[in-house]
Structure 1
Amino acid sequence: MEKTSIWGTKTVVYIFLSIITCFLGTWFAFLLAGLVDLVLENNVEKLTFKACMILGFLIVTYIVTYVQGRLKNALLKEKSCALRSEVFHEIFTYTVEEFQGKNSAEYLNSILSDCELIEESYFQGMLSLINQAVQLLIVCIAVIYTNVLMFGVMLVMAIITVAIMKMGNDKIQSTMQAYANTKESFSVFLKEKLGCFPLFSLYNVTDAVVKDFDVESNRVGVTKAEQKNEVLKKSCVAEFVGLGSTVIIMATAVGLAMSGQLTAGFVIASGQLIGKMISPLMVLPGTWAQIKAAEPIKERLNSYFTAKEQVDYIEIKELEKIKVEGVSFQYPKSTQKILDNQTNCFEKGKRYLLKGESGRGKTTYLHLLGKMLSGYEGDIRLNNEVELRACSGKSFFEQVGVITQKNYIFNGTLRENLCLYKDFKDEDVEKALEAASFELQKEKFPEGIDTVITEDGNNFSGGELQRIALARAFLHKFTWIFADEFTTGLDRKNAENVERALLTAPNITVIAISHQDSPEFLALFDEIIEI
């Protein structure tokens, strides 16, 4: 099912209200005609009654119009929020490997920019198209009922208008796509440059980065201006065609009135009807072009919902052993294997250290074991039965915790960063922190586990963040922990505290990567594996 569809129950109600409001608006023109025709009767009482009736009619009309507007706003809010939610939800069904297939800026662009463009260009465009089409249909019926010749003139002008307005739609669509692509590239640029600010500052190249920014910002401005200029060109042509049509249709109405085929009142009212007919004719082609321009963005968002192959994964109730046999791995864009014919066996309750020179594939091997990479040759079997790729991710990650080189911290309390949307007792959280050698000193953390961690954990030291990552793994009671360079960047004292906390924890199997090679450290492992 297409997730960017506008159709639903509220849309049907909106169409019904559009019919009512357009009918009332067209009827108003005929009421005006009747009001003007009273000039021949010279009856003030009848004129007063008619005027009051029209005012009451207007009140009803605008009440219905207001309800329709509120429904439109509610519908747009519902559809845009649902679209953002569905895109976000789909992203969070990805595996780590699938998620890392795109730059995070692409996800941000999809959720923020693309969803907004769909709301503005597609959702609003479709509702506007419906309203304009209904208005045009009702006015045409009313004019045919009044005078067929008048309708014929209007129909000819409609054909001419649509033919002229169809020109240039492809150009608008291509400039819209170019602007969307440029915004996405700019989002990636901003993320990278802001993320590397300390590097640029330390190397004193901030002026060069600012110049680079100005170039990229100008590119966005140029593509946006090109898109707006195409729309402006189309709008000017539309206005000219609309005004020209008005002159021709008014002249026809006056001629028919002079020949006695129309009343004088209808000549005045025809101004209202002309507006209600010309307005859709002017706007409909542009609205349609706007909707078509959103097609590439719709396709990009719908790509998130591409049907995945259904696989019946096998659940592992208790992980006892991981057996690796002849595993080789090569990254897609690489020309050589980073792992070749790796064979090992990891048993529950033991501590394993992966050692080797940089670039030999230790982190890759850990990611393979941790179900964060696939596409390997050979077998990784769990409990001598289930191939890792066939194992349910949910049952696997209930038992296996991964501590990466990067400390994943979000803006929230210490408790929230540790519990990760699960419920734990305060005493369990505090025990996990204690097991990770994290001291909750009252003078430093007066709010205890409810202390707020700012963006990127800037109010905590590197050692504290490492211990938070370790405490998180302890709190969730993983029986296996994979730790990649988990003491990188720490001073020797802090590193020893974190190492000992992890490697002496009871009932936990550890597979770790570290460049630490002191005899005391190596003695904490049951087996050292050279990669």
Structure 2
Amino acid sequence: MKKIIKKYWMLIFLCLFFEVIGQLLFIGSNYFQYTVVNKVIQENKSINEIWLETLFAFGGVIVSLTITYFSDLMRCRISYKLRINLKQIVSFKINSLSDEEYEKNKKGEYISWYNNEVEAISAALEAKLISIYVSLVLTILPITLLFIFVHWIVGLVALFGGLLTIFVPSIAGIFLSKKYQEIAMEQGEFTQGIENLINGYAEFAYQNKKGLFRSLIEKFSNKMESKVAKVSYFTFGISLLIGILQVVLQQSTFVGSTILYYNGIASPGAVMVSINFSAYFIEGFSSLIENITSIGKGKGIIKKYKNIREYQEYTKNSIPFKELNINKLNCEIEQKQIFKDFNLQIDANKKYLVVGESGKGKTTLFKIIFGILNKYSGDLILNKEINYKTLVPEDLKNLYSYVPQETTIFNDTIRNNISLWNKEIDDKKIIEALKKVNLSSLLKDNTLDTVINYDNKNFSGGELQRIAIARALVDEKQVMIMDEITASLDKENRQNIENLVGELDKTVLYISHTTSTNDKNFDVVVKL
């Protein structure tokens, strides 16, 4: 966060400066109102004798509003810059997670980081850097002027009332900070749950269970909204208490200054400005409370993003793949033994078919080889000399292409979905990959610039799966790991892909529940 503040310190300073000047002019214009009222009532001055003070009073307000307008424009610019940079920090945070850490959180939680947490941190930073100082000016200046131009008794009444209004919210801010963190997490789970149900809506419709869909949505919504409502009820109660205290405070200063005027202690101008000054003081104090609350909300969330290492582009470590030896591999997941003293040798340019019943560890094995899972014992030795433990995850990802069961498709062009925005991959290579996965017909009605609909409405599931395979082909890694990639394909396309696998001049690790263990396209069958 310090880097962001340092980066935009001049804009922040100018915004703060103009906002403070605007408030000073606005409040200061009351001096001329004070003078005008005293001259008219006490000295019986005519309009001709007070026109200059009147002009200054109006002029001060107009200049103040103009300055405030420009400071608001700067504030808007700061908000924009903060949110952009905070979203980059969220990206850095996600990039700093290991693959294993990333999989622990739900997708909805990451979406919540970009939306809810960025908004909370942005509001907290604005409050801490700008708003709280403006609030202090709006609080301190009016109370000081009450002491100077009205009376010290009225000033003390306002000060005591103000301290009373800030005491309760300060304690409440601590409670709210924790609750808003809980809500942020709940919103992530809510987003994930709703997205999951929406994706599966067709299943409910096909089985005439639309009522169940509605009730499940309500269940997620009720859980989320009940937590928000509880915090809102508490917040409303605090707001009501503050509102009552503010009204009592404002009326007390007015009544007090009126009594002082009646007894000849205060001037008529003092009675009038006491209303304004107490209103400004209440506004300033209320704003101060809101800013303290906002800072409290964001404080806990900000801690989460401290000391994040910035993502460094990976410098390729060219390691040739000759062989991989897996020696005495042991792995447990959720207290279930997946592998016990498992051994396997994988040689370059051979095709390995991995088969086995569900839950036997086929996908787990691939994730260990790819470096996604690190909680295992035993040795993985690359090229007879390099221990996996000495390699960084990026080294392994530079060596292997991993095509998972779940197809990842982006709301972008066919070209970018296959090349992953890599400009070095030309259209010729992309078209060749499409031919290999039997998708050349796709380009009859489309171009590489055709956008794949985000909800996958303009391509079939099989076509999307083959696009994902084409992505792995243009990546040109030495080893391809394919995890049940033909599950959504028909028999013809499944056979085409398996024939393609057999023709590839690279090492292939392939999971399939449908391929015959005697398939001619594979050199070795590994049964788990």
Q: Same fold (TM over 0.5)?
A: yes
> 1:83 maps to what in 2?
86
CA distance in 1, matches of 2:522, 2:126: 60
CA distance in 1, matches of 2:411, 2:130: 39
Indicate yes or no: 2:528 matched with 1:526.
no
Deviation at 1:33, TM superposition (A): 0.7
Deviation at 1:329, TM superposition (A): 1.1
> 2:319 maps to what in 1?
317
Contact kept in structure 1, 2:33 and 2:53, CA below 8 Å: no
CA distance in 1, matches of 2:485, 2:164: 72
> 2:51 maps to what in 1?
48
Indicate yes or no: 2:351 matched with 1:351.
yes
Range 105-114 or range 220-229, more displaced = 220-229
Contact kept in structure 2, 1:165 and 1:237, CA below 8 Å: no
Deviation at 1:414, TM superposition (A): 1.0
CA distance in 2, matches of 1:95, 1:175: 28
CA distance in 1, matches of 2:486, 2:169: 66
CA distance in 2, matches of 1:362, 1:165: 56
Contact kept in structure 2, 1:125 and 1:287, CA below 8 Å: yes
CA distance in 1, matches of 2:456, 2:173: 49
Cα distance change on mapping 1:125 and 1:252 into 2, 3 Å = same
CA distance in 1, matches of 2:455, 2:382: 35
CA distance in 2, matches of 1:159, 1:405: 61
Indicate yes or no: 2:162 matched with 1:158.
yes
> Residue 104 of structure 2 aligns to a residue in which SS?
coil
CA distance in 2, matches of 1:446, 1:131: 61
User: What code does the residue aligned with 1:138 have?
Assistant: L
Structure 1 segment 102-251 matched on structure 2, within 5 A: 102-120=105-123, 123-124=126-127, 127-146=130-149, 147-163=151-167, 168-169=172-173, 172-173=176-177, 176=180, 179-251=183-255
Range 132-141 or range 194-203, more displaced = 194-203
Range 378-387 or range 247-256, more displaced = 247-256
Cα distance change on mapping 1:114 and 1:361 into 2, 3 Å = same
CA distance in 1, matches of 2:348, 2:83: 48
User: What code does the residue aligned with 2:190 have?
Assistant: F
Residues 475-497 of structure 1: CA deviation (Å, up to 9, x unaligned): 12122111122222322211111
User: What code does the residue aligned with 2:97 have?
Assistant: Y
Contact kept in structure 1, 2:418 and 2:470, CA below 8 Å: yes
Indicate yes or no: 2:329 matched with 1:330.
no
Residues 161-219 of structure 1: CA deviation (Å, up to 9, x unaligned): 33455565566556545544543332232122223223333343331231232233233
User: What code does the residue aligned with 1:114 have?
Assistant: E
CA distance in 2, matches of 1:398, 1:515: 28
Deviation at 1:106, TM superposition (A): 1.3
Contact kept in structure 2, 1:30 and 1:266, CA below 8 Å: no
What is the TM-score normalised by the length of structure 2? 0.88
User: What code does the residue aligned with 2:463 have?
Assistant: E
Indicate yes or no: 2:418 matched with 1:418.
yes
User: What code does the residue aligned with 1:348 have?
Assistant: A
Deviation at 1:5, TM superposition (A): 7.8
> Residue 253 of structure 2 aligns to a residue in which SS?
helix
Deviation at 1:4, TM superposition (A): 9.7
Indicate yes or no: 2:513 matched with 1:515.
yes
Residues 124-169 of structure 1: CA deviation (Å, up to 9, x unaligned): 5774333211211222333344454443333333334334555655
Contact kept in structure 1, 2:112 and 2:185, CA below 8 Å: no
Contact kept in structure 1, 2:498 and 2:521, CA below 8 Å: no
User: What code does the residue aligned with 2:361 have?
Assistant: G
CA distance in 1, matches of 2:395, 2:182: 44
Indicate yes or no: 2:70 matched with 1:71.
no
Contact kept in structure 2, 1:437 and 1:501, CA below 8 Å: no
> 1:36 maps to what in 2?
37
Contact kept in structure 1, 2:415 and 2:430, CA below 8 Å: yes
CA distance in 2, matches of 1:166, 1:529: 64
CA distance in 2, matches of 1:433, 1:165: 62
> 1:96 maps to what in 2?
99
> Residue 418 of structure 1 aligns to a residue in which SS?
helix
CA distance in 2, matches of 1:167, 1:387: 55
Deviation at 1:401, TM superposition (A): 0.7
CA distance in 2, matches of 1:283, 1:498: 65
Deviation at 1:419, TM superposition (A): 0.6
Residues 368-426 of structure 1: CA deviation (Å, up to 9, x unaligned): 11112111111112222222233233343233111222222122111110010101221
Contact kept in structure 1, 2:19 and 2:67, CA below 8 Å: no
Contact kept in structure 2, 1:355 and 1:362, CA below 8 Å: yes
Cα distance change on mapping 1:164 and 1:493 into 2, 3 Å = closer
User: What code does the residue aligned with 2:28 have?
Assistant: W
Alpha carbon RMSD of aligned pairs, Å? 3.1
What percent of counterpart residues are identical?
21
Cα distance change on mapping 1:434 and 1:184 into 2, 3 Å = closer
User: What code does the residue aligned with 1:75 have?
Assistant: I
User: What code does the residue aligned with 1:390 have?
Assistant: T
The answer for unaligned runs of 5 or more in structure 2 is none
Residues 424-450 of structure 1: CA deviation (Å, up to 9, x unaligned): 2211211222233322355xx433222
Cα distance change on mapping 1:21 and 1:99 into 2, 3 Å = same
Indicate yes or no: 2:385 matched with 1:382.
no
> 1:361 maps to what in 2?
361
Residues 111-135 of structure 1: CA deviation (Å, up to 9, x unaligned): 2223234445664577433321121
> 1:473 maps to what in 2?
472
Deviation at 1:50, TM superposition (A): 2.7
Range 226-235 or range 166-175, more displaced = 166-175
> Residue 100 of structure 1 aligns to a residue in which SS?
helix
Deviation at 1:107, TM superposition (A): 1.1
Deviation at 1:499, TM superposition (A): 0.9
CA distance in 2, matches of 1:276, 1:60: 18
Q: Kindly tell me the number of residue pairs found equivalent between the two proteins.
A: 521
The answer for unaligned runs of 5 or more in structure 1 is none
Residues 439-483 of structure 1: CA deviation (Å, up to 9, x unaligned): 2355xx433222222225343234323322222122121221111
User: What code does the residue aligned with 1:49 have?
Assistant: L
CA distance in 1, matches of 2:101, 2:166: 46
CA distance in 2, matches of 1:113, 1:165: 22
Contact kept in structure 2, 1:470 and 1:502, CA below 8 Å: no
